[in-house]
Structure 1
Amino acid sequence: MISNMNWRAGEFGSRPARVANCSGYHGDPAEEMYNQATLGDVDFITGDYLAEVNMGNNAEAFAQGKHSGYEETAWQGLKQSLPVIAQKRIKVTINGGALNPGGLATKVAALTREKGYELKVAYVSGDDVLPKLSTFMPQQKEASLPHFDSQNKNVVISDESFIFAQDGKEPRKIVSANAYLGAHSIYQAFQNGADIVICGRVSDASPVIACAWYWWSWKITDYHELAGALIAGHLIECSSYVTGGNFAGFDAFNLDNLINPGFPIAEIAQDGSCVITKHEGTGGMVTIDTCRSQLVYELQGNVYLNSDVKAYIDDVAMEQVGENRVRVTGIRGAPPPDTTKLAIFYNGGHEVQLLVNATGYATDKKFELFSKQVQHFMGEEAMKELDIFEFQQIGVPASNPTNQNSSTVYFRIFAQSTNLQALGAIAVAVRHISLKHYSGFHNSLDMRTAIPRAYLAYYPALWHQSNLSEQCHFVNADGTTSSFDTSPPPRFEQLEQRKSYDTKSPAHFTGDLRQVRLGDIVLGRSGDKGANLNFGLFVQTQDEWEWLRSYMSCAKVQQMLIDDWHPDFSIERVEFPKIYTVHFVVYGILGRGVSSSKRLDGFGKGFIDYFRDKIVQVPVSILNEAASSKL
């Protein structure tokens, strides 16, 4: 077996590092790790298994000994892939350790010993700060940790975010509290000879940064290079989201090629620039459009934050340099902020969803009558006990429908409370309506969502990096561990006020205008950052860009949101002119976000195609140009 000192001899640090992704969340198939290892040559395999809610969902069961604490698909992927990982000397780092990285690392190390593989297994700890917090969320707002958006002076943090702060009521127990770690501990594990590094809650892109950092032997202050690797990591962290999954432009392509997109690879150069690609013969595609889509997904604005570096992406550029190969350049780096994100999940109480249907005529009046009846039969006292209580109409009946389903909408009652009796009053009220219902009332016979279920509420906080205690642990041949403290970033930089601006020198068009759906000429992607929704819009040509940047202002977005807009919300807007992209964040629109959002689309993924379905006015000359380019 080749020793670690001779790993990739003659290649290490002399050509771009090939870093593969095998997972974008815990539901991605375990065999994708094996596919990335066998379908071509890679130097590293990384995997992101953690949506924000994963940790909280399993925390109580793990504490009670009813859950392993790590992600099962991470274990299955490693178990399937270890033979080829050992044979090809591929280094691996994943965050599938979740709540129990030590447990997964110990299990993997035992398997490597059993099979006779000379692989060093390590894990990173320090993200779990639950022991440093109180048992319960504070009952006074002023006693809360700073909210993640508290330093943004343009944001009004809603009272809903502090719903736990109700003095005199039963306090709400904290279930998990995990800080987002950077790449330096993974890098130091590689430096000390690790072949496999298991992590808990590291930031999604941190494993990719660490791989490139180790490959190129960058210094911890090589901020431009680290920032480039951060964006490379962001581009591949969501698996097939950069190879054709969740792609707004999918309808222009052969659908058979999008059934099973291959997973991505980032070839990261010494200067931090990268080429995004995938293994030959796999499905999907890598184009400028798929890369732009992923770049703007869950983006924070023009500055992308990590615990080791800030990446400024104002000048990001993309170039198609071959089939399924896109080069990404123009990233600038700076020292990281002295804080990191802390995801806190606590017992929010219980929630219910009650769904009933209506068809065709007068659905607005039916909705109004149903709302009045439910509130009448519930009574004021029960409604006062609800933290959240909303009536939502989902859908609009088709005009001149061709079948009953196309004429059907549903009404959604959504409620959350710590008072089970108050939640139960909703179903009782609907039952009391009985035959007093609106014309054509009907519903599914499956009413399980009307039964109160416990839910976890989410609170994103700021946590000082100086309060982190990060360590790297190597699992020894006898099953014991050898541990050392890792070195944090040597320098921090105050986080400046976030940029937000409308376009400079807007273009003015003469000639006729035509009303079209925005999606006829604009692609995009949307996602969530806690309570906030982000979305990016991009076009293909310089003329289309001149129109998009001039037309799509903050005021225009607010106007187009119509009923989705609330005065407490705020909009942030930036531009990436070299890739014809404008990016927005709508602060507060997702309520508390993640597991406690009251919106049907709580993660904001469907927002983009709703927004692209809106009617806009576009110069006819631009539409003619777009039509000609498709011929």
Structure 2
Amino acid sequence: MASPKRPIRIAGCSGAATDRRDAMRALAANCPNDPIDVIIGDWMSEANMTSRAASKTDNVGEAYEPTFLEALEPALPHIAKHGIKIAVNAGASDTELLHSVVTKMVASKGLKLKVAWISGDEVLPAVREAQKANASTFENIRTGEVLNSWKFEPIYAQAYLGGLGIASAFLRGADIVVCGRVSDASPVIGAAYWWHNWQRSNLDELANAFVAGHLIECSNYVCGGNFTGFKALETKGWENIGYPIAEISSSGGVVITKNKNSGGEVSVQTCSSQLLYEIQGPWYFNSDVTAILDELWFEQLSTDRVALRGVKSDLPPPTTKIGITAKGGYQAEMHWFLCGLDIDAKARMMETQIRLLLRPHAHRFTKLAFTKNGSAPDDPTNQNAATVDFRVFAQAPKEEDLMPQRFLRPCIDPIMQGYPGATPHLDWRQALPKPVYEYYVTLLPQADVQHKVHLASGETFAIPPPPQTKTYPAQQPCQAVTRGPADGGKWGRTVTGPLGWIVHARSGDKGSNCNVGFWVRHREEWDWLRTLLSVEKVQELLADEYAGKKIDRFELPNLHAVHFLLHDHLDRGVSCSSTYDFLGKNVAEFLRARHVQLPVRFLDRGRL
């Protein structure tokens, strides 16, 4: 094993199944000029967790994530040449089969790389045993319902595993470790744990590695992808934004940088953006450790080098998150185009006509929604800009409920009696029924998870649950308004304008929940921001989007940030959402576009 005196350098090469596939090869090939010890990648999401679960259950197609192989194959010679370790969560619902495919791929190239795999994330039998013994109600941590009252039949369940299985595999000589549903940050935890020979009691070190994993698991995000300061990146190579590298010392010190000669930037602002992505509150849970975020901050050391500071640690919880998949029925949608004047009246007319024709069939639907998407400007200068999408969306339990004669035909048949300019979208593929999957998020005791490492030799090692844990309240710390609000008069003259002229923001999904974090660049702006953004103010800004659900709020003063968790805001989650913004990423952009009173003195510093 390498010396613990040198920080480990871990590169993140993928944040999604659809990420660019050349990053792993490029990072490995450039190792002599830009050394890398471990490459990690995240190929999993709630979307492909459910779809791959259905593939496994129905024995149709691959149940692992095949795009991982597209990234791995061209990288293998460089991985072998430079002794780089690989840890990825691309196994989805068939990690054992992915292990077999990777092993054969390595052998076909005449390489001596050892491939290990992690099991234990498949937990539906444990859930059923606990239900049978009345050991748990399996309360949904998003909605509060209990599993026995869920109207869907579970077909698959996956637990989010920690990183110590990966560490154990590396310790025993594995070069490539393929996992199913480990948490997104677990490959970084596992790599640092192995490299520095940490113990479970090294909570501070583990917490820092955990947050480092959160920062780099989404690949380009921490280097300027999905960043509200993106306009400043145009001169910094935004056509080819780089991939992140976390340098983690034996004491848990973390520096975030990126691969050499790549576009984008690593700054306090890009790190703040990624830190605020998808967190649920100041307590950040993993199977190996709990990271406490409320005093966290970043320090810009030099160009594209940012240090992580202020992370606190605590014991991991006795439970781990699990996601339960069920077949949720079918959905279909059809689109009309509304152009120019009287958009609202045109939409009302078409909706009324379609509803009448759907009346004989609509009782079969579990959801029927009509939405206008976009708006037409006054005095438009081109026709496309003056066009609004009108969407008809339906879900039903059975495929036959949404066959063309029961959905598509009633949606298009009003064309001759329609609004002026009535034009349907001619691509009707979305109007045919497609399966959707429900996703139920709950908790399972870590003691009920059979976390195991399977080595290339055939040996198997069990990873026991943490010996010490801590039970946390279900409710994260919440502060509806700031303490000691600043005097509004101190800001001087104000003008009305979009919040996003001054304020950065970032949002994302966790099941049906949506989180959104706001932050500013300067201390004086922070006093204004924390005073402005109360729970009540966010409800006001959400306007028509606010459905009366609970909102949690907490502050990160060292980041100049205010974070909100919008409970049950995203319909039922990405795999069965009826909304366009199924990942919740545009909630932040919508709120930044809302108008508030902005201090002119802040605008004088320049708009974002």
Aligned to 2:496: 515
- Are 1:539 and 2:539 an aligned pair? no
Q: Name the CA shift for 1:43/1:420 in 2 (closer, same or farther; >3 Å).
A: closer
1:382 corresponds to 2:361 = yes
**What letter matches 2:461 in structure 1?**
F
Whether contact under 8 Å (2:375, 2:387) holds in the other structure is yes
State the shift of 1:393 in Å: 1.1
2:467 matched to which residue of 1? 490
Are 1:145 and 2:142 an aligned pair?
no
Provide the rounded CA distance (Å) in 2 between the counterparts of 1:129 and 1:575.
36
Partner of 1:433: 414
* Post-superposition offset of 1:526: 1.0
Q: 1:261 is matched with which residue?
A: 241
Deviates more, 1:569-578 or 1:438-447: 438-447
Q: Is the contact made by 2:28 and 2:79 (CA closer than 8 Å) also made in structure 1?
A: yes
Q: Distance in 2 between matches of 1:70 and 1:326?
A: 35
- SS in structure 1 of the partner of residue 530 of structure 2: helix
Is contact 1:17–1:215 with CA below 8 Å preserved after alignment?
yes
Shift of 1:283: 1.6
Cα pair distance change 1:144/1:396, threshold 3 Å: farther
* Structure-2 residue corresponding to 1:191: 171
The unaligned stretches of length 5 or more in structure 1 are 1-6, 150-155, 166-171
1:463 alignment counterpart: 444
Amino acid at match of 1:621: R
Classify 1:255/1:417 alpha carbon distance in 2 versus 1 (closer, same or farther; 3 Å): farther
Provide Cα deviations, 1:58-98, integer angstroms capped at 9, x if missing partner: 33434555434322232233332222222222121111122
Q: CA deviation at 1:420?
A: 4.0
Give the conservation status (yes or no) of the 8 Å contact 1:509–1:619.
no
> Which residue does 1:558 correspond to in 2?
539
Cα distance change, pair 615–227 in 1 and its aligned pair in 2 (3 A): same
Pairing 1:580–2:598 present: no
Find the counterpart in structure 1 of residue 40 from structure 2.
46
Match for 1:56: what amino acid?
A: T
Q: Out of 310, 317, 320, which is 2:297 matched to?
A: 317
Distance of aligned partners of 1:110 and 1:363 in 2 relative to their CA distance in 1, 3 Å threshold: closer
Q: Secondary structure at the match of 2:341?
A: coil
Distance 2:188 2:236 in 1: 30
- The partner residue of 1:499 within 456, 468, 477 is 477
Of 126-135 and 241-250, the range deviating more from structure 2:
126-135
Determine the C-alpha separation between the residues in 2 that align with 1:519 and 1:409: 24
Aligned residue for 2:433? 452
| Letter paired with 2:455 | F
| Per-residue Cα deviation, 1:416-440 (whole angstroms, up to 9, x for no partner) | 1114454343333234424221222
Q: Partners of 2:439 and 2:235 in 1: how far apart?
A: 37
Unaligned runs of at least 5 residues, structure 2: none
Whole-angstrom CA distance in 1 between matches of 2:543 and 2:59:
49
Indicate conservation of the 8 Å contact 2:5/2:249, yes or no: no
Does the 8 A contact of 2:501 with 2:603 survive in 1? no
1:78 aligns to 2:72 (yes or no) = yes
Q: Does 1:124 align with 2:110?
A: no
In 1: Cα distance, 2:537 partner to 2:156 partner: 40
Deviations 1:133-184 (A, max 9, x none): 569x99xxx99632023xxxxxx6589x99952xxxxxx4534311111112
The answer (yes or no) to whether the contact 2:174–2:456 under 8 Å persists in 1 is no
Deviation at 1:114, TM superposition (A): 5.3
1:231-250 → structure 2 map (5 Å cutoff): 231-250=211-230
Matched AA of 1:55: M
Distance 1:107 1:420, change over 3 A: closer
For residue 14 of structure 2, what is the aligned residue in structure 1?
23
Decide whether aligned partners of structure 1 residues 412 and 114 sit closer, same or farther in structure 2, where only a CA change above 3 A counts: closer
**Residues 77 and 619 of structure 1: is their aligned pair in 2 closer, same or farther, counting only changes over 3 Å?**
closer
Q: State whether structure 2 residue 92 is matched by structure 1 residue 98.
A: yes
Distance in 1, matches of 2:515 and 2:380, equals 34
Specify the alignment match of 1:169 in structure 2.
Answer: none
Q: Paired residue for 1:405, among 384, 406, 413?
A: 384
1:528 and 2:509 correspond: yes
Q: Which moved more, 1:238-247 or 1:502-511?
A: 502-511
Distance 1:117 1:404, change over 3 A: closer
Aligned residue identity for 1:428? R
Aligned counterpart, 1:295: 275
* Conservation of the 8 A alpha-carbon contact between 2:415 and 2:422: no
Cα contact 1:398–1:407 (8 A) shared by 2: yes
Q: Is the 8 A contact 1:148 1:341 kept in 2?
A: no
Q: TM-score with structure 2 length normalisation?
A: 0.93
**Cα separation, 2, equivalents of 1:194 and 1:268:** 21
> Which aligned pairs between 1:214-233 and structure 2 lie closer than 5 A?
214-233=194-213
Tell me how many residue pairs correspond in the alignment.
Answer: 596
Matched to 1:549, the amino acid is R
C-alpha separation between the residues in 2 aligned to 1:246 and 1:310?
26
Cα displacement string for residues 33-71 of structure 1 (whole angstroms, at most 9, x for unaligned residues)? 111122210111111111122132133434555434322
C-alpha displacement at 1:288, in angstroms? 1.1
Distance (Å, rounded) in 2 between the aligned partners of 1:396 and 1:613: 14
Are 2:526 and 1:549 aligned? no
The alpha carbon displacement at 1:117 in A equals 4.1
Q: CA deviation at 1:127?
A: 0.2
CA deviations 1:334-379 (Å, max 9, x no partner) are 1111221111221111101111111122211222222222222222
Residue 393 in structure 1 maps to residue 372 in structure 2: yes
> Secondary structure, in 3 states, of the residue corresponding to 1:259?
helix
Q: 2:50, 2:575 within 8 Å by CA — same for their partners in 1?
A: no
Distance in 1, matches of 2:339 and 2:111, equals 64
